[in-house]
Amino acid sequence: MDVPLVESTRAWLAPDSAQHDPDFPPAVGSQFRYVIKFRNIGKHPAVHAAFYEERAGDTPHINLRDWNVQKSWSLVFSGVSNETCEGRVPGEKTSVIYPSESLRTYSVDTNYVIPEAVFQKSKILYVEGCMAYTSFGKIRYEGYCFFLHPEPDGVPLDQWKFATCPAGNFSKDKD
């Protein structure tokens, strides 16, 4: 099979963004739930698509009040490594994701309870996950990482928006 042809027409799942689950607004002390928006930007269906959320957590202690956040988010996430695709395989009885310009969503429940430190801006909440699927008989992975961007004092937690992490986002094929 012509490799450039396969690569140019394969399925390609693309994580677009994260948002709060509208049915479960975030609050300090509550279990965290969120929604991932994605689409298949390729030309073929992604078959046996499976979604794995491995981690919702927070960064090591930092003091954003004494630090110019605009300097570099990469410093905050320097110790974060997305390994959520390790050992994962697409599912046999799971979704087929057809190519589309429209965003699709899936909801993620976590065991993570939002600590006061996130609201106080001494920790940053982030989520990592993996999309595993098959295209042209090859197993493919899309890793994502999003973080809850701290807002100015007085802005409720449910109005904070997600941003893409400076690390932990990738696309790779199974070896």
* pTM of the complete model: 0.88
CA–CA separation, 53 and 15 (whole Å): 13
Tell me: the pLDDT tens digits for 119-153?
888 888 889 999 999 999 999 999 999 999 888 88
Burial 49-81 (b: 16+ CB within 10 A, else e): bbbbbbbbebbeebeeeeeeeeeebeebbeebe
**pLDDT at res. 174:** 87
Long-range residue pairs from 73-77, CB within 8 A, at least 24 positions apart, any chain: 73/147, 73/163, 73/165, 73/166, 74/166, 74/167, 76/124, 77/126, 77/145, 77/147, 77/165, 77/166, 77/167, 77/168
Tell me: the pLDDT tens digits for 64-102?
655 555 457 777 777 778 888 998 989 877 889 999 989
| Higher-pLDDT residue of 122, 37 | 37
Domain ranges of the chain: 3-173
CA–CA separation, 18 and 12 (whole Å): 18
Across 44-54, average pLDDT:
89
Tell me: the pLDDT tens digits for 97-116?
999 989 999 888 888 899 99
